[in-house]
Amino acid sequence: MKTRSISGLSFVFVLLFSSSWAASAQNHEDFLQCLSLHSQNSTSISQVIYTPNNSSYLPILQFSIQNLRFMSSDTPKPTVIVTPLHESQILTVIKCSRTHGMQIRVRSGGHDYEGLSYVSELPFVILDMINFKSITVDTETSTAWVQSGSTVEAAEMILSPYGGKMDEISEYAIPFPHRAGNLYKIQHLVYWEEEGEMAAERHISWIRRLYSYMAPYVSKFPRAAYINYRDFDVGVNKQGNTSHAQASIWGTKYFKNNFNRLVKVKTMVDPGNFFRNEQSIPPISLWRKKKGD
Ligand SMILES: *[C@@H]1O[C@H](CO)[C@@H](O)[C@H](O)[C@H]1NC(C)=O
Ligand SMILES: *[C@@H]1O[C@H](CO)[C@@H](O)[C@H](O)[C@H]1NC(C)=O
Ligand SMILES: *[C@@H]1O[C@H](CO)[C@@H](O)[C@H](O)[C@H]1NC(C)=O
Ligand SMILES: *[C@@H]1O[C@H](CO)[C@@H](O)[C@H](O)[C@H]1NC(C)=O
């Protein structure tokens, strides 16, 4: 009797599991078909699409993973990786991702400390900007246009943001708000070689203790943070439904008062919150709706 009920249960489980697997496989197929249907040239887009079936899928995925914690076999993997050669292919990926409920992760150098540019808990596609690395320098206007796939090794135009030339730019002119008045930007960083979850926990817990230890000596109200040293410990969006109040806890660390202006921009350009991740700026409509007005 007991055995029968257990096997009945596992049968139901297998049924549920395999039907959701079939649905997601179908969704992947539909997504790929959408890419080829909506691109100007289906031959050329097929040359920049990698699914787990392509032998170069793993090498491409791993090529710019800089944090080995996200290289493990149980790290969620993208359904598809696209390495666009042309802007129109980026539009196609966005269109099809919206239609087929895929998240988009945009990867440039792959250095995001929390792996946000190539990991997502929801089904996702990586838009890998590796082919967009042109650097144009205009000496007359003293400006440089650097495409996002460029890496620092290629650009070597590393800015030291506090004070200096950056201080001539108003902190409200660009999202990045930190200027002179901060003595140093501290990067809390730990490397280890031992493998396994236990070693990872031990080292991460050590760096968390160091971070707490520093609290009396660093900026306060809020304790500021640098978005390029991303840190989920300062807070994350929950399924994109995070309230403005919750998001401002970490948003003001990264953006100070610019956070509220970024929320306004977000509400204008992406009210449905399609482009989102664990630390994206939430639009205002979501929390209004939640409050019921
Ligand atoms: C489509 O792309 C392929 C491969 O890049 C190219 O050989 C072909 O000429 C393109 N076709 C058109 C109509 O542009
Ligand atoms: C990956 O495989 C698909 C067929 O499964 C093929 O259409 C596509 O061109 C391959 N991608 C690359 C980059 O070779
Ligand atoms: C991958 O290959 C399997 C069998 O070779 C096939 O059934 C499946 O449709 C392929 N998936 C994609 C996304 O090309
Ligand atoms: C978040 O919002 C979506 C869409 O409005 C909804 O389907 C989902 O249940 C919400 N999740 C939570 C945790 O409230």
Q: pTM for the full model?
A: 0.78
Whether 241 is covered by a domain: the verdict is yes
The CATH code of the domain that includes 225 is: 3.30.465.10
Whether 201 is covered by a domain: the verdict is no
Whether 124 is covered by a domain: the verdict is yes
In the 8-state DSSP scheme, what is residue 256? T
Task: Answer yes or no: do 9 and 121 share one domain.
Answer: yes
**Phi, psi (5° rounding) for residue 180?**
-55, 155
Q: Which of 111, 41, 31, 144 is nearest to 78 (CA)?
A: 31
Amino acid (1-letter code) at residue 183: L
Whether 61 is covered by a domain: the verdict is yes
Dump pLDDT digits (tens) for 62-83.
998 888 889 888 999 999 999 9
Kindly report the average pLDDT of the chain as a whole number: 82
Question: Domain end: 113, 128, 143, which one?
Answer: 128
243 lines ligand 4 (CB under 6 A): no
Whether 213 is covered by a domain: the verdict is no
Cβ–Cβ < 8 Å for 93, 139: no
Q: In which residue are the tokens 């150098």 written?
A: 109
Cβ–Cβ < 8 Å for 88, 40: yes
**Residue 96 sits in which domain range?**
2-128
Nearest CA to ligand 2 atom 12: 47
Q: What local confidence, expressed as pLDDT, does residue 153 receive?
A: 42
Whether 252 is covered by a domain: the verdict is yes
Whether 281 is covered by a domain: the verdict is yes
Q: Which of 43, 49, 126 has the most ligand 2 atoms within 8 A of CB, as the residue to mutate?
A: 49
Task: Answer yes or no: do 120 and 182 share one domain.
Answer: no
Question: Domain end: 106, 128, 150, which one?
Answer: 128
Cβ–Cβ < 8 Å for 236, 248: no
Instruction: Give me the number of domains the chain comprises.
Output: 2
53 lines ligand 2 (CB under 6 A): yes
- In the chain, which stretches have pLDDT less than 50? 1-18, 152-156, 158-160, 287, 291-293
Our measurement of the distance from residue 202's CA atom to the centroid of its chain's CA atoms, rounded to an integer in Å, reads 25
- CA pair distance 291, 243, nearest whole angstrom: 9
- CA pair distance 106, 87, nearest whole angstrom: 14
Task: Answer yes or no: do 62 and 164 share one domain.
Answer: no
The interaxial angle of helices 244-255 and 258-269, nearest 10 deg, is: 120
